[in-house]
Amino acid sequence: CLRWRHQPPPLLWAARQSIGTQAGGLRAEKPGDNSKDVSVQRALNEETLVSAAQKVKEAGRDFTYFIVVLVGIGVTGGLFYVIFKELFSSSSPNKIYGDALEKCRHHPEIIGVFGDSIKGYGEATRRGRRQHVSHIEYVKDGLKHMRLKFYIEGTESGKQGTVHVEVKENLETGRFAVRYIFVNVETYPRRTIVVEDNR
């Protein structure tokens, strides 16, 4: 009887077992806490590597955009230069064509043959547009020369003329000066009208 009294009752024994198991679980989790720290450390290292790779990728993309923008600015600048040179430079064929056409429009003999509202046009393209002004450039005696050819017509029906222009570089001003402008009347009676002759 005395032995039985010293043994703990079954309920108390079960409670001790569960407390011991919980304590053992807590003790067993302590090494797991270190593994959690290691896994957090690994995750941080992986995030650092990923963020560095993303930064490199973004830097490469930004550099590519920068190169594309630079190329775009260069192409745009080149286009503006060509347009400015063609439209506003005194040595461009279009500028010489415009000046010669204005002189033809104000010449009384040309107005008498072709009528008012004289318009000029260049060679016809494949699509039928009359935009291309035929011209050649050459150097003679160290000076640049240019010859142009275009066509005119006015209000007189059936009247058409071919305008021949030659300009020569002036060393003092650096611009082209007119050597001659004359118009061949292509319809009957054929003749040549001299608009300007500085030869």
- The pLDDT score that the predictor gives to residue 89 is 59
Q: Which of 125, 124, 107 is nearest to 116 (CA)?
A: 107
- Token pair 């570089």 is found at 169
Consecutive 10-residue averages of pLDDT for the chain (199 residues): 52 51 46 54 63 81 90 86 61 88 94 91 70 85 92 89 93 87 90 92
Residues whose CB falls within 8 Å of the CB of residue 88, separated by 6 or more in sequence, listed in order: 95
Helices (H), the chain: 2-6, 10-88, 93-105, 108-114
CA-wise closest residue to 118 among 96, 100, 94: 100
Whats the size of the chain, residue-wise?
A: 199
